[in-house]
Amino acid sequence: MTAVGAAFTRAAGEGRAVLVGYLPAGFPTVDGAIEAGRAMAETGADVIEIGLPYTDPLLDGPVVQQAMDRALAGGTRPADVLRTVEAVAATGVAVLVMTYWNPVDHYGVDAFARDLAAAGGCGLITPDLTPEEAGPWLDAAAAHDLDRVFLVAPSSTPERIELITKVCTGFVYAVSVMGITGARDRVGDAAAGVVSRIHACTDLPAAVGLGVRDGAQAAEIAGFADGVIVGSAFVQRLLDAPDPASGIQGVRELAEDLAAGVRRPARTAKAK
């Protein structure tokens, strides 16, 4: 079991959901992203996703795209992503890389898996990689004991969900809405149904992402999901900050609010 699986097991034993936080490497700077990741880890995040900046992030909304553009303009490269992983993982929190497939393919699939494992990373979340095309990654992940996290959308058929969950390890990423990332006023109505359909196919935990912005929404999702994934809301805190110190404080405050949300006692039974 990787540190990701251990985080979900520990949270389940405590009767709560896992908090998964996301930030792109290199934003606002490489060192700034490391400091923000450490702040998340210190204030309640169980798992942290480090985004690999990419020029064509199809799933990401304007907030994350703006952060990625700034990271790329600052010269962020895969080596900086791995350095960020290593520094954040040193806190003891489980760290995954969220990445589109082209940068990994360009780097070399086995080489990236090797270097990610050496940096203390636990695996990849791959939003644009399909199970049918994932053979090289599945082999490399198995060779280096890394988790493989794929996405299930509200539009996914039962057959598709079964196929996706068979190749996942760690957890399954349940997309709450059809569309791009970004904080929303309310969680998509489809989220609970997606989680239920995932639980019908696998014993792996299901974590819900896209749209969560505060502790109240985190508490809502924690009522039916095993994990709550928050990205754009963290990035927005850094974008809105007048200076780096204020941005880190904003990240801390949001992480504390979200961590309290996933720990609220009202939880519903999960379909298995």
Q: Is 60 a catalytic residue?
A: yes
Per-domain residue ranges for the chain? 3-11+18-260
What does the pLDDT look like over 3-56, one tens digit per residue? 999 999 999 999 999 999 999 999 999 999 999 999 999 999 999 999 999 988
Q: Is 220 a catalytic residue?
A: no
For the domain made up of 3-11+18-260, give the CATH fold.
TIM Barrel (3.20.20)
Marked catalytic residue, from 31, 42, 46, 49: 49
What does the pLDDT look like over 139-168, one tens digit per residue? 999 999 999 999 999 889 999 999 999 999
Confidence of residue 180 (pLDDT cuts 50, 70, 90): very low
- 45, 55 in Cβ contact below 8 A? no
The C-alpha atoms of residue 191 and residue 176 are separated, in whole angstroms, by 4
The yes-or-no verdict on residue 184 having pLDDT over 80 is: no
Marked catalytic residue, from 35, 42, 56, 60: 60
